[in-house]
């Protein structure tokens, strides 16, 4: 057996292992992987998602068991300290020695920390590992307890810096971005696109400081500010340094391998270093005198190194590396491809800019107007995949290239069909998957749908930017083979959501089994179709989740949000955020009685965490006695209608936003929809209720209300679009009734209003035709259906506490009244939290 030692278990180190074990001929090799961190490889590209759930497992590339199952020895928490090239051995920091036949260096990079006076002070962090993020979270929690309006700055306005800015926002600190250059993302964006990005980021709460050279960090033991000049400083309570990276090349340098002037281990197109038995891949490798900081080139390097060790001599890195990339930074699409900056002598630039919508599109074309050479997209990168393919494959462009970034006059597209791409077109750069491989998997019968294609080829499992094109190719290939592309809900229903909606409505079904028996394909249903049918019956018949609780998902089944230790949160409705002192006192008393963690939510409600299953009806009973009802925080239904104080109190208020917000929340409470819904009512254009970030939002203006539709967007945030101006209360209700019912009728499962609206043929103008002009002749039906739902509303909590049969499902054990004694809580700022999982 020959030994391969991989030093570094990051994304690229893991990818080497994955590619190596997938190839034939690996049986005579033993692979040992050293990881400096205490856990297996995880996804650093999506590191900021750790702030959403603080679940490190969710970021793992593969569990520890995967390595042993594939014959790989994984050693974590142990740093390799030395390489002896003569004896072909490595020595670890624990003074253990291992021999190798081939050594693969995948140590990646470390954050560059500028030599600024005071940078060692408490409260200064780097943004690189999960441990870094855990340290930031702990420090931020301490800060907020002492200073609710605490500020945090990020040093660096590049890709990682803006990701760190999102992290700071997620921690509830006032965010500031400090950049030395005169623009954000100086390596990827030109000045105009950077300005558009800056305007967008500032509009969502980031404070941007450009052309700032930090002289020193202020404070005694901990940071209190940053000084840029004699009279130029910024008071901050925390600093995240994200000013670039430096290759972790010290192992290679100390062992005499050739390194670059500015760092990085020199490699050839085989990924071999100056020692033919040692390979370097990822951000440590200096190839073509460049360090490539994107994951896709690193994965390609891993594949080449694996091939070379297995004797595949023709596997080489290409001479030129495509640095095109598409990212979502704090909810903003940013993409660049080909040559984003192009001298005038080489070609022409065509620019479309709309600062009011924070959009910027630039394409660079050859002097003869026949070739696409590159481009930049900010704010809307939906066309990136196709533009990138046109550039990569030298495809023909329209006579008027501007059509590539401007809507076609007939509402069509200038791109042609996705099937026009050549078979060698690389669709997924992270996993090097071509169009031919995707289509081939379908044509061979290996895959019959998108999930099958992903499983066979791994396309879309990296950054995820290629998923829309993978889906388009899959469907187009199936159609070309004469196979009907079914949009069925799951294996139990060949019908899609819209067809099921119509069938349940016409037939008057009230149980899941009626629908399954008459229109299903057999079986007993699954976790996809059961909650969907339950939601449809609720939307059509105003059924509550108590009607058939067994087909609901976990949260709807128990009318509460299940938390990570098996307890539940209770969120009573507080319409419009208005609450009487008596009700406020009652909430405090109930929370104290049941020892619940208490938090004011972003939707101006009070959330009570830590209730055990058997406590839920007891808590609801007391809340109901004080005039509360279910807030439906667990359901795909209306959550809140957020309001400002409006003309009731505010000197700027144009109308009584609180009263109208309460009326709307009470009207739409309990309706079930494809996804959760939020509303907002602002009393003036200062927008204190953030109405344009909601599924439906109102802003009071002279002469009535401006109505906005289709905002929020969840993981893809977006502003709502202006639908109607200066309309009265009655018209607002009529339009929202029709909008929500049309959405509930036609959207896909778990599709938010924003995504549904984006995919409607004709968009907002089509909605005006349907809702205002009654183009489809269904307005009266929509009005009647919504009024029926409004009239039939019942509080699910009240139903449950008044029905002894329903109460049975809130026991921990079906055969015992005992409580679950496995729940463990630990202190948190005078309250409690679940003990961390191991």
Mean pLDDT, range 328-342, rounded to an integer: 82
Which stretch, 154-168, 594-608, 651-665, has highest mean pLDDT? Answer: 651-665
| Model pLDDT for residues 438-478, shown as the tens digit of each residue | 999 888 888 888 878 888 888 877 766 677 788 888 888 88
| Model pLDDT for residues 505-518, shown as the tens digit of each residue | 888 898 999 999 99
Which stretch, 179-183, 315-319, 730-734, 749-753, has highest mean pLDDT? Answer: 730-734
| Model pLDDT for residues 23-69, shown as the tens digit of each residue | 888 999 999 999 999 999 998 887 877 776 678 888 889 999 999 99
Report the SS3 class of residue 290.
strand
Q: How many CB atoms are closer than 10 A to CB 511?
A: 14
Q: Is the pLDDT of residue 411 over 60?
A: no
CB 102 within 8 A of CB 85: no
Q: Is the pLDDT of residue 71 over 90?
A: yes
| CA–CA separation, 552 and 550 (whole Å) | 6
pTM above 0.75, yes or no: no
What per-residue confidence (pLDDT) applies to 556? 85
- Which residue intervals of 627-778 are DSSP H helices? 646-649, 657-668, 729-746, 753-759, 763-771
CB 816 within 8 A of CB 822: no
586 closest CA partner among 624, 631, 640 = 624
What is the secondary structure of 44-60 as a DSSP string? STTGGGHHHH--GGGGB
pLDDT over 90 percentage in the chain: 50
304 closest CA partner among 313, 290, 293, 316 = 316
What are the CA-CA distances from residue 24 to residues 30, 234, 306, 440 (Å)?
14, 58, 11, 21
Q: Is the pLDDT of residue 415 over 70?
A: no
Q: Which of 149-163, 440-454, 586-600, 667-681 has the lowest mean pLDDT?
A: 440-454
| Model pLDDT for residues 613-625, shown as the tens digit of each residue | 889 999 999 999 9
Give bridge partners of residue 831 from the DSSP assignment: 828
Mean pLDDT, range 589-598, rounded to an integer: 91
- The number of helices, as runs of H, and strands, as runs of E, in the chain is 26, 38
- Looking at per-residue confidence, does 475 or 657 come out higher? 657
What per-residue confidence (pLDDT) applies to 641? 94
Q: Which of 282-291, 482-491, 496-505 has the lowest mean pLDDT?
A: 482-491
Mean pLDDT, range 543-568, rounded to an integer: 82
Q: Which of 232-241, 374-383, 658-667 has the lowest mean pLDDT?
A: 374-383
Sign of the Cα pseudo-torsion (437, 442, 448, 449, in order): positive
Mean pLDDT, range 780-798, rounded to an integer: 93
- Give the distance, in angstroms, between the CA of residue 183 and the centroid of all CA atoms in the same chain: 25
Mean pLDDT, range 604-608, rounded to an integer: 87
Q: Is the pLDDT of residue 526 over 70?
A: yes
Mean pLDDT, range 782-811, rounded to an integer: 90
pLDDT over 70 percentage in the chain: 96
Mean pLDDT, range 263-286, rounded to an integer: 96
Q: Is the pLDDT of residue 642 over 90?
A: yes
75 closest CA partner among 8, 162, 160 = 8
Q: Is the pLDDT of residue 827 over 70?
A: yes
Q: What is the mean pLDDT of the chain?
A: 88
Q: Per-residue confidence at 421, pLDDT binned at 50, 70, 90?
A: confident
**Backbone φ, ψ for residue 450 (5° rounding):** -65, -45
**Which tokens hold the place of 144?**
């907020």
Q: What is the end-to-end Cα distance of the chain in Å, rounded?
A: 36
Q: Is the pLDDT of residue 424 over 90?
A: no
What per-residue confidence (pLDDT) applies to 410? 41
What per-residue confidence (pLDDT) applies to 837? 62
């Amino acid at each position: 057996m020959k030994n391969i030692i991989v030093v570094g278990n990051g994304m690229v180190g893991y990818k080497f292992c994955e590619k190596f074990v997938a190839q034939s001929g690996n049986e005579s090799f033993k692979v040992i992987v050293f990881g400096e961190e205490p856990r297996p490889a995880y996804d650093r590209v999506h590191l900021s998602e750790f702030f959403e759930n603080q679940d490190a497992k969710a970021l793992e590339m593969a569990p520890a068991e995967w390595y042993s199952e594939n014959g790989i020895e994984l050693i974590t928490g142990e740093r390799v300290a030395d390489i002896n090239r003569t004896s072909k051995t490595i020595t670890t920091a624990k003074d253990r020695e291992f021999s190798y036949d081939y050594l693969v260096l995948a140590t990646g990079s470390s954050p560059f920390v500028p030599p600024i006076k005071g940078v060692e002070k408490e409260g200064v962090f780097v943004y690189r590992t999960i441990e870094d993020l855990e340290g930031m979270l702990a420090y931020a929690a301490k800060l907020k307890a002492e200073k609710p309006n605490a500020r945090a700055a990020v040093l660096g306005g590049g890709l990682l810096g803006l990701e760190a800015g999102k992290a700071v926002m997620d921690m509830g600190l006032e965010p500031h971005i400090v950049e030395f250059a005169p623009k954000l993302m100086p390596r990827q964006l030109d000045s105009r696109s950077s300005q558009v990005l800056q305007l967008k980021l500032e509009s969502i709460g980031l404070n941007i400081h450009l052309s700032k050279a930090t002289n020193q960090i202020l404070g005694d033991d901990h940071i209190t500010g940053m000084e840029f000049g004699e009279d130029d400083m910024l008071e901050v309570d925390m600093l995240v340094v994200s000013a670039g990276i430096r290759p972790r090349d010290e192992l290679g340098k100390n062992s005499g391998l050739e390194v670059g002037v500015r760092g990085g281990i020199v490699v050839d197109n085989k990924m071999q270093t100056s020692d033919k038995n040692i390979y370097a891949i990822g951000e440590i490798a200096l190839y073509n005198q460049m360090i490539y900081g994107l994951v896709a080139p690193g994965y390609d390097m891993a594949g080449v190194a694996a091939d070379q060790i297995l004797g595949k001599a023709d596997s080489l890195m290409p001479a030129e590396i495509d640095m095109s990339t598409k990212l979502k930074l704090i909810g903003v699409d940013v993409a660049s491809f080909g040559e984003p900056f192009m001298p005038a002598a080489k070609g022409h630039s065509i620019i479309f800019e709309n600062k009011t919508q924070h959009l910027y599109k630039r394409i660079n074309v050859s002097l003869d107007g026949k070739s696409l050479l590159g481009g930049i997209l900010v704010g809307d990168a939906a066309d990136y995949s196709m533009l990138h393919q046109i550039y990569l494959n030298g495809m023909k462009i329209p006579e008027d290239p501007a059509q590539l970034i401007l809507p076609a006059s007939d509402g069509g597209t200038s791109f042609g069909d996705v099937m026009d791409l050549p078979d060698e077109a690389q669709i997924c750069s992270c996993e090097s998957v071509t169009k031919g491989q995707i289509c081939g998997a379908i044509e061979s019968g290996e895959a019959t749908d998108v999930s099958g294609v992903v499983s066979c080829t791994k396309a879309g499992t990296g950054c995820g930017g290629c998923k829309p094109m993978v889906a388009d190719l899959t469907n187009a290939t199936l159609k070309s083979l004469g196979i009907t592309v079914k949009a069925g809900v799951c294996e139990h229903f060949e019908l899609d959501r819209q067809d099921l909606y119509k069938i349940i409505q016409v037939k008057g079904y009230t149980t899941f089994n009626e629908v399954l028996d008459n229109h299903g394909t057999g079986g007993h249903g699954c976790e996809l179709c059961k909650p969907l049918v339950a939601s449809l019956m609720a939307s059509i018949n105003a059924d509550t989740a108590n009607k058939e609780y067994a087909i609901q998902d976990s949260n709807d089944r128990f009318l509460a949000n299940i938390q990570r230790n098996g307890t539940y949160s209770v969120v009573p409705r507080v319409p419009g955020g208005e609450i009487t002192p008596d009700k406020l006192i009652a909430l405090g008393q109930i929370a104290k009685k049941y020892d619940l963690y208490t938090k004011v939510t972003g939707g101006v409600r009070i959330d009570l965490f830590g209730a055990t299953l058997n406590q839920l009806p007891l808590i609801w009973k007391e809340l109901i006695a004080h005039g509360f009802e279910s807030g439906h925080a667990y359901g795909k239904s209306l959550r809140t209608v957020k309001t400002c104080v409006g003309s009731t109190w505010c000197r700027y208020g144009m109308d009584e936003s609180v009263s109208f917000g309460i009326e709307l929340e009470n009207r739409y409470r309990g309706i079930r929809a494809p996804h959760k819904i939020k509303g907002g009512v602002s009393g003036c254009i200062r927008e204190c209720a953030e109405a344009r970030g909601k599924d439906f939002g109102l802003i009071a203006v002279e002469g009535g209300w401006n109505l906005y539709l289709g905002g929020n967007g969840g993981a893809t945030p977006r502003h709502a679009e202006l639908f109607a101006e200066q309309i009265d209360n009655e018209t607002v209700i009529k339009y929202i009734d029709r909008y929500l019912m049309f959405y509930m009728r036609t959207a896909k499962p778990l599709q938010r209003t924003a995504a549904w609206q984006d995919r409607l043929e004709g968009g907002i103008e089509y909605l005006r035709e349907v809702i205002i002009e009654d183009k489809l002749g269904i307005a009266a039906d929509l009005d009647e259906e919504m009024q029926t739902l409004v009239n039939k509303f019942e509080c699910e909590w009240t139903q449950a506490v008044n029905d002894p049969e329903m109460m049975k499902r809130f026991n921990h054990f079906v055969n015992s009244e005992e409580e679950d004694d496995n729940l463990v809580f630990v202190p948190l700022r005078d309250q409690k939290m679940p003990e961390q999982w191991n």
